[in-house]
Amino acid sequence: MSPVLSPARLGRWAPPLALAAIWIAMTALNPRFLSAVNLTNLMLQIVAVGAIAVAVVLVLLIGEIDLSVGAVSGFGAAVVAVLSVKAGWPAGLAILAGLATGACVGLVHAAMVTRVGVPSFVVTLAGLLTWQGALLLVLGDTGTVNVNDTSLVAIAGTFLAPELGWALAAAFGGAAVAVVAVQARHGMATLRRSWPWLVGSAGAVIAVVVFNADRGVPLAVVLFLVLLGIGDLVMRRTRLGRHAVAIGSDASAARRAGIAVDRIRMAVFSLASVLAVTGGILAASRLLAVNQSSGGTDVMLTAIAAAVIGGTSLFGGRGSVWSALLGALVVGSLANGLDLLGASPAIRLIVTGLVLGIAVGLDTWARRSR
Amino acid sequence: MSRARTAAAALAIAVGMLGTACGDGPDAERRIALLLPESKTARYESHDRPAFVGRVAELCAECETLASNAGQSASRQQAQAEAAITNGAAVLVLDPVDSTSAAVIVRHAAEAGVPVITYDRLVLDAPVTFHITFDNERVGAMQAQALLDEIGDSDGVLVVLNGSPTDDNAAQFRRGANTVLAAADVEIGVEADIPDWSPDQAQEAMERALTTLGRDRIAGVYAANDGIAAGAIAAMKAAGLDPLPPVTGQDAELAAVRRVLVGEQHMTVYKAVRTQARVAAELAVGLVRDEEIPAGVRTTWVDNGYDRIPALLLEPLLVTRETIAGTVVGDGFWSVEEVCDGLEPECATVGLAAGETP
């Protein structure tokens, strides 16, 4: 039994505790923070950065970094917007083209890292500049492209009918019951294994109550959660995911064990850029536009901060896709709450910086004492 | 065990707060949101915000201003507008980061039944309630007319340096100036758009104009704002032009006012930002109290692609050497000390002396 305050345990519990502390503090300062309207707004505000944070989590897991996620999200979204608005492509095709652009971008980064041997920090720093330039180029002289395709607008603008929200929650609850039942049949239904399903089901019910009190369950939030679920499955249950974690823990040991290190890196970098573009499309659908500041530097910084605050290690091999949700919630709740309080941009940056500093400190401490 | 108890206590507190959140909130006063676009240009935080907040406080004791600044991020501004509406703002006064993508903010506000006054920059394709800004075409016309008056019947040519090609305001300045210049019998030697209103780019454009036109043929320079004027003047000084031909400007930046004082720049245009902020505050309070804009405020209509929007266009003021005292200094925009520091002899000739700051 580890001591109550072991670094590892603190590292695991710090993000949810921080989130709870922020929510309690913000509610105490302005009770409207916990209103259904604001919580719905909060969730819509975090999905884009959350999706980009998933990209960061994947790259951090293999022990690399991607500084270009923000720029790539803006570039990919600009490709989608321009193809849809200026070239008149159907939304589905435009989105596919945007995601394919992301995959190519990621492959270029990975090739530089694996074939040429340039550190990912430098490759993606160069990428940040390049793709920001590509964004300006694609947008052209007008600088802003308004998204008006109904399907693109619907991604972030659709709220499910109350019954449909309940149906989704019921479906998730049913799946949870089934999983726990299977675990029980194999004698594996310990609290340690089953709690995510129980907590998830309870969370789904509370979320549907809150969302239905406002405009309904936002489609963008459902998409984000599905993305997280798939990401979690891939990282924990597939060879790609387990090999990625092995590489992040110790690349040379992984290579000696016969893992195709470079192939996994290729896959993770392109997956990350595709996820970044997904985040960019979510952001464009919410703002109904792509402009020159889309995917700016603060998007990248916020996404990396979210991944690390959520508990993914900067040192590779440790973390989970869910930390993107947790971290995005922490960073998003801070920004949302401080906006409600009318805090200046200065205060917002300082507070977020302090929280990030504490998170990285905990991460470093946990790593040293392993 | 103790951890479980702590968690239970935290949950209890959170649930308790959820309960209070469903109530009416602690204060039911009237709220006005001011959404400013960025903090790098000094005017928003040092002139617009204090003037607006101060005027609201004067007019309406029960009103509160929720001011926020988006730091040049359109999505940040969207989140701040949502926060303002969540906080119960009864009216939004919006200076958009981006005239086009801010439409989503105005539409969201309209759905929530909150009227939007656009401030300084219009929002396109959205149900804006009222628009307040300066008459930009009038600014361009004033600049062009002042330039023509100064040139007289010289037979040289003009250099025209317009603002940023992506700025809708720049297009309006150019329209106003073109109307006046086209009516006069004057030849334009070189015309260029200056990307991002950049003084460096203006300097390069002026250097090219000097090369193509030759230094002796230039009768005057239409510079769309003071930054562009600064670049053009630097280029002409470097080329050894003496005396300098008349150069126009706009914004009444301190450096420009001092150039006007010593005769390097012919004129600038002062837009009374504080007046603009105070009038916007008066309109917002009117909307909060009576749910309508007072009759007679509207001076014109502007078309934003959605509808004809009632608008108030404020008059810009011409600043020349002789009128510095009566405009920027008289209005408290710049103090005598700031304008005259090191230029006391020139100040004395136009009746500006230390200690006269209102």
Q: Give B51-68 pLDDT, tens digit per residue.
A: 999 999 999 999 999 999
* DSSP secondary structure letter of residue B46: I
Q: Which of A2-11, B85-94, B195-204, B326-335 has the highest mean pLDDT?
A: B85-94
Q: Which residues contact B242 (CB under 8 A, 6 or more apart)?
A: none
Chain B contact probe: residue of A2, A287, A294, A300 with most B CBs at under 10 A:
A287
Token digits of residue A40: 């719905």
Q: Do B125 and A345 touch (CB under 8 A)?
A: no
Whether residue A81 contacts residue A151, with contact meaning beta carbons closer than 8 Å, is answered with no
Reported as a single tens digit per residue, the pLDDT across A190-235 is 777 788 888 899 999 999 999 999 999 999 999 999 999 999 999 9
**Which stretches does DSSP call E strand in A125-200?**
144-146
Q: Do B100 and A289 touch (CB under 8 A)?
A: yes
Reported as a single tens digit per residue, the pLDDT across A50-83 is 999 999 999 999 999 999 999 999 999 999 999 9
Give the SS3 label for residue B31.
Answer: strand
Whether residue B220 contacts residue B245, with contact meaning beta carbons closer than 8 Å, is answered with yes
Q: Which residues contact B182 (CB under 8 A, 6 or more apart)?
A: none
| Torsion angle of C-alpha atoms B144, B146, B148, B153, degrees rounded to 10 | 180
Q: Which residues make beta-bridge pairs with B160?
A: B191, B222
Give the SS3 label for residue B67.
Answer: strand
Closest CA to A157 of A110, A204, A223: A223
CB atoms within 10 A of CB B263: 12
Reported as a single tens digit per residue, the pLDDT across B261-318 is 999 999 999 998 889 999 999 999 999 988 888 778 888 999 999 999 999 999 999 9
A273 touches chain B (CB under 8 A): no
Reported as a single tens digit per residue, the pLDDT across A251-270 is 999 999 999 999 999 999 99
Token digits of residue B172: 């309006």
Instruction: Please name the residue that has the structure tokens 């600009």.
Output: A78
pLDDT at residue B14 tops 70: no
For residue B313, give Cα distances in angstroms to A65, A110, B115, B134: 51, 55, 19, 5
Nearest to A143 among B68, B103, B166 (CB): B166
**Which stretches does DSSP call E strand in chain A?**
144-146, 289-291
Closest alpha carbon within chain A to B83:
A340
Amino acid (one-letter) located at A138: V
Please give the Cα distance from B281 to B64 (Å, whole number).
11
Least-confidence region, from A109-113, A171-175, A238-242, B294-298: B294-298
Please tell me the distance in Å from A269's CA to the nearest CA on chain B: 27
Please give the Cα distance from A321 to A57 (Å, whole number).
6
Compute φ and ψ for B250, nearest 5 degrees. Answer: -165, 145
B69 touches chain A (CB under 8 A): yes
A153 touches chain B (CB under 8 A): no
pLDDT at residue B143 tops 60: yes
Please give the Cα distance from B31 to B28 (Å, whole number).
9
B212 touches chain A (CB under 8 A): no
Q: Which of A4-13, A36-45, B157-166 has the highest mean pLDDT?
A: A36-45
For residue B79, give Cα distances in angstroms to A231, A332, B38: 28, 10, 15
Chain-centre distance of CA A56, in angstroms? 7
pTM of this structure: 0.80
pLDDT at residue B79 tops 70: yes
pLDDT averaged over every residue in chain A: 91
Amino acid (one-letter) located at A132: Q
Compute φ and ψ for B93, nearest 5 degrees. Answer: -110, 110
Q: Which residues make beta-bridge pairs with B222?
A: B160
Token digits of residue A82: 């321009």
B17 touches chain A (CB under 8 A): yes
Which residues of A are less than 8 Å from B67 in CB distance? 342
Nearest to B13 among A24, A142, A342 (CB): A24
B310 touches chain A (CB under 8 A): no
